Amino acid sequence: MAPEQMTGGRATSKSDIYGFGMTIYEIFTGLAPFAHLPNDLVHAYVTKEDRRPERPSDLDVVVHGLDDSMWDIVLECWCRESSARPRAVDLVRRLDLLATLYAEQQKFPLSGHAGEDSEPVITQDTTSQQSNRGNLGSSVDAWGKTLRQLTTIDYPTVSHW
């Protein structure tokens, strides 16, 4: 829950962005934010002390993508002032760029996959859909069609059994 919601404010798209930052944290660490605190202390920790979860230093977390670039996104999502948090459409663009860069640099570990020589397969699919409004991570052409690009990264896998 975003700090403004903890102090009686209503949920907005900006409070969702705060929650998205917490979700990124949980995905990379496997831990709920503030898992070490009892629930009754989280409110004061976030609203009065303006604290956020600490950046994990575990190398495994960094190797799996929670590097400086991703951590910067998380911190921006957690800004105390909701107006300073990024827009969802900007997050989608940045995350898409990071996913492409990570795949190109082979930052995603290939352990458990088909071996050192295996390369991830990056596919991009641009689809067109009639729409009167834009969608996240999309653009609208001159005829009102929403163009979406989906980047998928597939790794070859082998069974270890």
Report if residue 151 sits inside a domain. Answer: no
Express each pLDDT in 88-119 by its tens digit: 999 999 999 988 888 777 655 444 444 445 55
Question: In this structure, what CATH number is given to the domain that contains residue 41?
Answer: 1.10.510.10
Report if residue 113 sits inside a domain. Answer: no
147 with 137: CB under 8 angstroms?
no
Express each pLDDT in 34-79 by its tens digit: 888 888 788 788 888 888 988 888 887 777 788 889 999 999 999 9
Q: How many CB atoms lie within 10 A of CB 52?
A: 21
Containing structural domain, residue 47? 3-86
Number of domains the chain is built from: 1
Mean pLDDT rounded to a whole number for the chain: 75
Report if residue 20 sits inside a domain. Answer: yes
pLDDT at 16 (0 to 100): 95
Instruction: Write out the two tokens for 46.
Output: 């976030």
Report if residue 32 sits inside a domain. Answer: yes
pLDDT at 119 (0 to 100): 54
Report if residue 42 sits inside a domain. Answer: yes
**The whole model's pTM is what?**
0.64
Report if residue 101 sits inside a domain. Answer: no
Report if residue 74 sits inside a domain. Answer: yes
DSSP state of 80: S
Report if residue 67 sits inside a domain. Answer: yes
pLDDT at 6 (0 to 100): 86
